[in-house]
Amino acid sequence: MIGSGKHVCAVLALASCMVASSAHAQVAAGDTSQKKIALSNSFAGNAWRQSMLKSWAAVSTVAVQEKKVAAAPAFTTAENQVTEQAQQIQNLILQGYNAIVIDAVSPTALNGTIKKACSAGVVVVSFDGIVDEPCAYRVNFDFRGWGEAGVDYLAKRLNGRGNILEVRGVAGISVDNLMHEGVLAGLKKYPGMKLVGSVNGDWTQSVAQKAVAGILPTLPQVDGVATEGEMSFGIAQAFTAANRPVPPMIIGSTYAELNWWNEQSKNGYQSRSLSNPPGAVSFAFWVAQQVLAGKNIPKDVTINVPLLDISQEQLQAKLSATPQGGISDVTYTLPQTVALLSKK
C-alpha cells in the first residue's frame, strides 16, 4: 500500500518482502491441535463479507484437517447490532472457544464483552472492524491512509481543483470513521478541492446507487468521488442514470467493478483500484493460532495488512483472475503471516 509505507510492504513487492524476512520469522510450534477458534462476524450483506467468510472456511478447513486446530467455525449476526454480537461473543465464551476473531460492529461498544472474554482466558483478535479494548489484538488495514490516498489520486487527476462527493460506508463502524478521517486529511492538502456532499453507501452497490441518485439533483458539477471500496459500480450507475459523466474515483475490486472499469477504459476512462482483500481474514486466523501456540505478539500495535492495489496496467490480468460475481483477493499462509509479523 500506499498510505503507510513504513508499516507495510507494497502489495506487488509482498512476496519478495516475505522471502527476505523469512530468515527472521519463527513459527510458534506449541500444540494447538485441541484448540478451538471462532469467527464472530457482524454482518454478511455484501460481496466482501461473503468472500471473507469463504476465505475463513477455506483456511479453517485445511487447518482442522492438518490438526492445527480442533475446530474453527464462523458465526454471523443477522441484524448487525451491538447487542446481538455481544450476545454471540458471550455464547462463544460459554462454549469454550480458546480464541475468537472478531469483525466488530463497533470499535468501542463491545469492549465490556471482549474484556470478559480476555478475563476468561480467551484470545481475542479483532480484524477489519477492530476494537480498542487493550486486551484484544488488532489486525487491520491502513484505512485512514487508504482514504487519503484516494484523495491524492483525485487531486492528481483534477490538478488539485474540483468538487468532491464522498460516498461513505456503514455509519458508526471504525472502518468508515477512519476512511472519512483520511478523506478529510487529504482534502486539507488541496485548497482547490471542495467537499460538496456526503452520503452513506453501506459498502453495497445497490445502497450506494440509491444514495448517490438521491443527492445528485442537489449538487453542482461533481468532478471526483471519494469512495470506500465496494461501491463504485453502483455510484457509476447513479451518475449514468442522471445523465452526468462518471467522474474519477477509486474503483473497488469486485468483478462487476473491475469489468465496468475495463469496459470504460476502452473509451479512455482511467482509474486505479484500492481495496482491503477479504482473504486477509486468513492472516487474522493465523495470528490467533500463533498466539495460542505461544508466539509473543504485541497487543499495543495495530498490525496493518497490505491493501490490494490494482493499476490501469494490471486491470485486465486481475479481471481475468477474478470469478464472475466474486472479488479480487489475497490470502495468507501460516509462514507468510509469520513473515509479515516479523516486520513489525
pLDDT at 242 over 60: yes
Report the percent of the chain where pLDDT is more than 90: 83
Is the pLDDT reported for residue 124 higher than 50? Answer: yes
Residue with cell 487529504: 186
**Residues spanned by CATH 3.40.50.2300 within the chain?**
31-141+278-305, 143-275
pTM of the model: 0.82
| pLDDT digits 0-9 by tens, 283-331 | 999 999 999 999 999 887 788 898 999 999 999 999 999 999 899 999 9
Query: Could you tell me the strand order of the sheet in which 272-275 lies?
Result: 250-251, 272-275, 308-310
pLDDT beyond 80 at 15: no
User: Is the CATH number 3.40.50.2000 carried by domain 143-275?
Assistant: no
pLDDT value at residue 344: 63
pLDDT, one tens digit per residue, over 130-149 is 999 999 999 989 999 999 99
pLDDT category of residue 47 using cuts at 50, 70 and 90: confident
Q: Characterize 152-172 residue by residue with b for buried, 16 or more Cβ atoms within 10 angstroms of its Cβ, and e for exposed.
A: bbbbebbeeebbbbbbbbbee
CATH of domain 31-141+278-305: 3.40.50.2300
